[in-house]
Amino acid sequence: MCGPLNEVLRQEKKFLNSAEEMYRESALLSQVLAEDPHNRNDGYRIRSLYFDSLEDRDFQEKEDGLELRRKIRLRCYDPEGDFAVLEMKQKQGDLQRKRSLRLGRADALRLIQGDTRVLLSHPDPFAAECFGVMELYLYRPRAVVEYRRKAFLAKENHIRVTFDHTVIGTEANWNIFDPQLCQYPLLPQNLAVLEVKYNGFLLRYIQDLLSRRRGRTLSVSKYSLSRAVSKHVFF
């Protein structure tokens, strides 16, 4: 069975960091924000399978910079785990709407194999919506992205500051539960992606802390990077 629906609507900012900046800023953030309880020394693992239409609709809309666009992905945190999370992210101007639904491992594997009908066995309207979109536009698995994430939290405005590093992926094997998944680097090892996510507004003391940084704004998504081989998009 699937788990309850989770929905967030927030702003997201992305920046490109050097590894040196990541460690320095992590040390500063740890003094004023709570660490995600899943953090280890280098963060926790995230592995996502991205779906796209037969004509790569989502990829092309991102490349074209359209204001209204979406991504559908299936995410797990442990290849040996018993669940994955189906997510739909929709960009609406400056806001990002994300809805997610927990699926059991067996149903997630069916979805990985292209059987979208498995979503009809779940009563939540979001599952039916995902089924409709994926069938209408012939969504199929496209690429896997994996990385380590170190996250910091503030309860005010649901603020999350994350560093994603060691970004790897593949377009050859879509099984996110494969413990031996063969992947290749999508970003140089000395680079990381800083993401700042919040509702409403970003607190001033966090703005001031991050204003010291030298990293540049990043527009390329991890999904776009994962299509580097088949779509000839290089960072």
Cα separations (Å) of 14 from 42, 94, 132? Answer: 19, 12, 31
Q: Is residue 234 part of a domain?
A: no
Q: Is residue 183 part of a domain?
A: yes
**Interval 91-113 mean pLDDT:** 94
Report d(CA 94, CA 231) in Å as an integer: 27
Residue 30 clears pLDDT 70, i.e. is over it: yes
Q: Is residue 166 part of a domain?
A: yes
- What is the span of the domain harbouring residue 131? 6-229
The CATH number of whichever domain residue 173 belongs to comes to: 3.20.100.30
- pLDDT (tens digit per residue) in 187-225: 999 999 999 999 989 999 898 888 766 555 666 689 999
**Considering the entire predicted model, what is its pTM?**
0.92
Average pLDDT, the chain: 91
Overall number of domains in the chain? 1
Report d(CA 50, CA 58) in Å as an integer: 10
SS3 content of the chain, % helix, strand, coil (to 5): 25, 40, 35
Q: Is residue 215 part of a domain?
A: yes
Q: Apex CA 222: angle with CA 88 and CA 156, to 5°?
A: 65
